[in-house]
Structure 1
Amino acid sequence: MSDLPQPASILSMTQCWDLLSSVALGRLVTSVDGHPAIFPVNFAVQHRTVLFRTAEGTKLVSTAINHEVLFEADQHDQVDGWSVIVKGTARVLRSEEELDEAEQAQLLSWTAPTKQHFVRILPLNVTGRRFQFSATLDDALAAG
């Protein structure tokens, strides 16, 4: 048997949520006018759901509500990396209780104007992988 690291490994559900909680930028994948669309969003993990804010009238509000979406976040350095994908249903939070709970995540808008609406992705499936980069990739990155 070889002691070499495996190039990719499957992450547990707990590892996936821990890693998602460690970053603040991800990508929402949805459909706009019947075509795939991807939007970068800052987010927070709250109770094993993904929470983000959006403004009135954006494509995010009109297309994400009650639609199946994908959400992906990742991170890497020169040695390894990871990627987590959440498949779920996105919905705008409306009740006072939901909004009060979302406010506790202290999720701030990164851009002006302040994004007034919270959207929560309720997960149906969460998968993740960790990647160990080979010496060949390390050499390519170093050569830049």
Structure 2
Amino acid sequence: MTELDAPVASLPDARCWELLRTQELGRLVTHVGDVVDVFPVNYVVDGEGILIRTAPGTKLLELTVNADVLFEVDHHTDTEAWSVIMRGRATALESEADIERAENAGLRPWIPTLKRVFVRIEPTRISGRAFRRDPEPERTGVAEY
């Protein structure tokens, strides 16, 4: 990554989307009343949105009550790391055309369960940061920032 001249660097939107396309596991964060839940989900980038599959249950219920979500993906190696966070609205796909398109997006469940509901997350904001992974600076003396 060329973003790593500094220990932490903000990523432009285009780079965030590029990085999202390299992974397939993220975290979906929902919020209903006083309850915040985090769900690991496999996903695929679809244009400028995210597709996930789910079954009836807590996740789908919470998305129905409050469609405002966070979606987070990260990755690391021994020398660098990155994290992308998307704020958006999640909507279960209902039209036959949308579902057929989603069926052809290549999103398959990781575990042998039926996940018949496709959900699309439309971003309202995306941000990302890249991190250079170096040893911790010396704790004594003058720190360079």
Band the TM-score falls in, shorter-chain normalisation: 0.7 to 0.9
Q: Which is helix-richer, 1 or 2?
A: 1
Q: In structure 1, the residue corresponding to 2:108 is in which secondary structure?
A: coil
Partner Cα separation in structure 2 for residue 104 and residue 13 of structure 1: 25
Structure 2 residue aligned with 1:63: 62
Task: Describe the superposition over 1:65-93 as per-residue Cα deviations: whole angstroms up to 9, x where unpaired.
Answer: 35100000000011000000000000100
Task: State the TM-score, normalized to the length of structure 1.
Answer: 0.87
Identity %: 40
Task: Describe the superposition over 1:71-120 as per-residue Cα deviations: whole angstroms up to 9, x where unpaired.
Answer: 00000011000000000000100100110111121100111222110001
Partner Cα separation in structure 2 for residue 32 and residue 123 of structure 1: 19
Question: Letter of the aligned partner of 2:58 in structure 1?
Answer: K
Q: In structure 2, the residue corresponding to 1:127 is in which secondary structure?
A: strand
Per mean C-alpha deviation after superposition, the further-off stretch among 62-71 and 116-125 is 62-71
Aligned-pair distance for 1:5? 3.0
Question: Letter of the aligned partner of 2:88 in structure 1?
Answer: G
Moved over 6 A (4+): none
Structure 1 residue aligned with 2:130: 130
5+ residue gaps, structure 1, are 138-144
Aligned-pair distance for 1:136? 2.9
Question: Letter of the aligned partner of 1:90 in structure 2?
Answer: A
- The 5 A counterparts of 1:50-129 are 50-56=50-56, 58-65=57-64, 67-129=67-129
5+ residue gaps, structure 2, are 138-145
Task: Describe the superposition over 1:7-60 as per-residue Cα deviations: whole angstroms up to 9, x where unpaired.
Answer: 11111111000100100000000024531110000000001101100012x111
Q: In structure 1, the residue corresponding to 2:5 is in which secondary structure?
A: coil
- The 5 A counterparts of 1:39-58 are 39-56=39-56, 58=57
Count how many residue pairs are aligned between Structure 1 and Structure 2: 133
Task: State the TM-score, normalized to the length of structure 2.
Answer: 0.86
